[in-house]
């Protein structure tokens, strides 16, 4: 599969978002880091990873704490080389407390289609296990599973 490069159309931006969702749902920090430039810069809550090595470290720590992580991303807007995304993910901590994390991401891409900048704003909301909406087996969200809009999120 070839990488999707700017300038984006609605179709290519939507596909780029789904590929990012699939990658993050793998929970494989090394796989995820490959879609970022070598010198990619992030803002993720209060963390500011820079470069693939720091991204791998950040994601490894994240998924060691955010267990049974399942994510849905949805295209919000796009321009030639930028995409805005809204997302929600569900996870639990090592005590079994469940959370739904909501947020927005702003992405900027290099000409080769790798992400050079990622700015994420995220809020966590405690939920009861009965309030969970993301029930697919760990890994890629099935194509027939509802997205954020369909779930009323």
The answer to whether residues 119 and 42 touch, using CB atoms and an 8 Å cutoff, is yes
User: 106: how many CB neighbours lie within 10 A of its CB?
Assistant: 16
Q: For the chain, what are the domain ranges?
A: 10-131
Considering only CA atoms, give the Rg of the chain. 15
Ordered per-residue pLDDT tens for the chain, 153 residues: 578 999 999 999 999 999 999 999 999 999 999 999 999 999 999 999 999 999 999 999 999 999 999 999 999 999 999 999 999 999 999 999 999 999 999 999 999 999 999 999 999 999 999 999 999 999 999 999 999 999 999
Class of the 10-131 domain? alpha beta
Q: ∠ CA(77), CA(50), CA(92), 5° rounding?
A: 70
d(CA 37, CA 75): 21
Confidence at residue 78, expressed as pLDDT on a 0 to 100 scale: 98
pLDDT of 44: 95
Write down the pLDDT at residue 1.
54
Structure tokens at 37: 């430039």
Of 129, 47, 34, nearest in space to 90 by CA: 129
């Amino acid at each position: 599969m070839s990488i999707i490069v700017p300038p984006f159309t609605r179709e290519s931006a939507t596909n780029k978002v789904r590929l990012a969702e699939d990658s993050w749902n793998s929970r494989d920090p090394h796989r995820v880091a490959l879609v970022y430039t070598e010198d990619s810069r992030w803002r993720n809550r209060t963390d500011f990873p820079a470069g693939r090595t720091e991204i791998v470290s950040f994601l490894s720590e994240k998924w060691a704490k955010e267990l049974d992580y399942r994510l849905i991303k949805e295209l919000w807007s796009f321009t030639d080389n930028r995409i805005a995304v809204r997302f929600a993910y569900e996870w639990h901590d090592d005590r079994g407390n469940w959370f739904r994390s909501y947020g927005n991401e702003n992405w900027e891409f290099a000409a080769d289609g790798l992400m050079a900048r990622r700015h994420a704003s995220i809020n966590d909301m405690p939920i009861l296990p009965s309030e969970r909406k993301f029930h697919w087996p760990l890994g890629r969200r099935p194509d027939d599973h509802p997205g954020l809009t369909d779930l009323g999120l």
